[in-house]
Every structure is written in C-alpha cells, then in structure tokens.
Structure 1
Amino acid sequence: MAIDTWTTLASAGAGALAGAIASWVAAPHVAGRQQRGANKLNAREQINERAGRLLSDVRKYQAHARSSMSRDDDRNLFHTDDITVCGAFLTSAEQLGVVRKKLVRRRLVELYGPETVELCELHGDTDEDPNTSLFMVLNRQHNHLKNPERFRHPDRGLVDQALRREPESPEVERLIKSLSRLKKSR
C-alpha cells in the first residue's frame, strides 16, 4: 500500500504542531522550576554563610580565643542584634521549600525564642536593619506596658542563654550543635 503524499504532510504538520504546543506549555514550567531551584540553593547558601559566621564566633568563644560575645550575665538585657540576625535568617528561609522552611523556623525558635521569631515574622525583612530592630523592641516594650497579655517581650533563646554562660558550659555546646544543624538548613 502506497503512502499518500498528503497523508505524510498532514502527519508531519500534526506532529510539528503537537511539538510546538508541548514546548510552549512546558518551557515556562521548566524555566520556573529552574528558577525556584536556583532560589532555594541561594537561600540555603545564605543560611549556611550566616550560620557559619555565628558558629565560628561561638567556637572561638568556646576555645577562649574570644574573651566575650558581648553578653553580660548579670543584667537582664535583650540584644537587638538577635532580632537582626533572626530576621536575616527568616528572610533567607522564605525561598526554601515548605518542609525546609518549617525546619529552619523550628531551629530559630530554639535559638532565639518564639516571641523573637514571631516579632521578626510580623515585621518581615525590615528587621534586618539594626535601627529598625531597636525601634521594634522599644515599641514592643511600650505596648507590653499597656497590654502585657497581648504584647510579650522578645524572649531570649539558646543563643542568649549560652553566651551568658562560661565557654565550657553545656549550653554553649548545645548552641554549637544547633547552629551546625541550622548551617545545613535542617
């Protein structure tokens, strides 16, 4: 049986049309997946870098290569740097997938406390500025005086607790382990 020329041309045209439609539909999807993958990788690298710097400082503190981490154990002060660092971690974690984002958030709650993480989430990436962080803490303290049940103070997590202890303390060791896990974004 001979193949008709028109049948061959129609078949080739239909195949080309189907291929063009598939490419038109799939190309943005593939490009979007590649972009999301690049964003996730970038977020993990940012978290890795930030946690690595903090981990390095804590290890130096533990090895007595650093005399202090600017935490006075006698005074009950909250450090606005904690809000700045926590906010930077949360901003980076926004690009992660749902599961990793929840794991990073859980680790941040352990490191900085639930109230601090909530405060950073509420204000978004504006908390990366030290002046804004100071204003947020002062505003929260003012609101706490008016309505203590609704507006709680930013709390102190493992970072603050450990850095108020001696370098050999178990809290510093726990902090190093927790920061190591955060560095791996898990």
Structure 2
Amino acid sequence: MWRGSDTWVMPSHAQAARVADGSLDLAICWVERPDLDALELDARLVGTDRLYAVSMGQDASPVEAGHLTVLLDSDEASWSSWNRYAAEFARESGARVVRVDDGGVTGSTFFDHVRRLRGPVLNNPKGQNDATPSDLVRRPVIDPMPVWTWSLVWRRGEANPSVHAVVDAFTADTDASALTEPGRG
C-alpha cells in the first residue's frame, strides 16, 4: 500500500482481488482482460490518464517513447500493476527499463531517479498531480502515447441491482477519447 494525499490507497491488483473475494462490491483500478477472466470480474472504463515523461532542464518538447526510461519497482506487493503495464509499454515501444528497489516509481524518489538517469523517465499514474520540481520538466510522450486506464470492476454475475445501478451511473459519461487520440498508435 502507498499513502495518497490523506488516505491509504491499495494497489490495483489488490483492489481487484478484494472485489473477487467479496470484501468489496466495486473498485476502481487498472486491470487487464486476463485478470478479469481469472478473477471472474466485469469492468467498465471510468477514466484515463495520459502519462508523460519527466526530464532534466527546460525542454518541454514531445519525446518519442523509444527514448524513455521506464522504472520498475522490486516491491511487487505494491507495484505489480504498474510493473506489468510499464514492462509491456517498454517492450512495445523500445523504452529502456531500469529496476529500482526504493519505491522510487513515484514521489520525491522518482524525481531523484530522473536526475540520476539524466534522461526522460515515464511518470507513474500515482504521480500525475505531483508538483514538478523547478529543475525538471514534464514532456508529452508520442509514438506511442502511453495511456493508463481506470476501470470500475465488479463480480461477474452480480445479482445486487444496487451494484449495477452504481456501475451504470458512474460510467454513463465516460470519455474514452484518450484511447483513440493521434499519437496513441
């Protein structure tokens, strides 16, 4: 678990598992199709985060995904979902993978890694709203554009009409345009 602004946040894979075991009726998380099938869950998209790179200096121009570094953390209990996403993104784009063991895929330690690596590093969705230090800059990523998806998950075959009402209400106005914008492919 990691600490959000004022609450403890469970990682996506833990949230999905809690819905599958019945300790939660619904959860918002990142999930892949094989996980849905294995855990017997259904899901609907509720939002997306376009990820960006952080690098040294003031050059805010777009950076090609193949020129990025992607951090993977050795703490699988906390970062399994991120590690799976990031590893696949690196494989598909040609980005370089650097393994860390200090929780440095987000927060101030992430910024320390950017300084140490001296090149553009893909940010983590948990760091989307972190203030960027003045010696670093955010840069859009292209070819492909990384998009982190957030889905609302519930148990397949759920009989409770209240759960379905929440799903319908919560996903009614979902904007999936980030998944089809130019630069995605």
TM-score band, normalised by shorter chain: under 0.3
Larger Rg: 1
- The answer to which structure, 1 or 2, has the higher relative contact order (CA under 8 A, 6+ apart) is 2
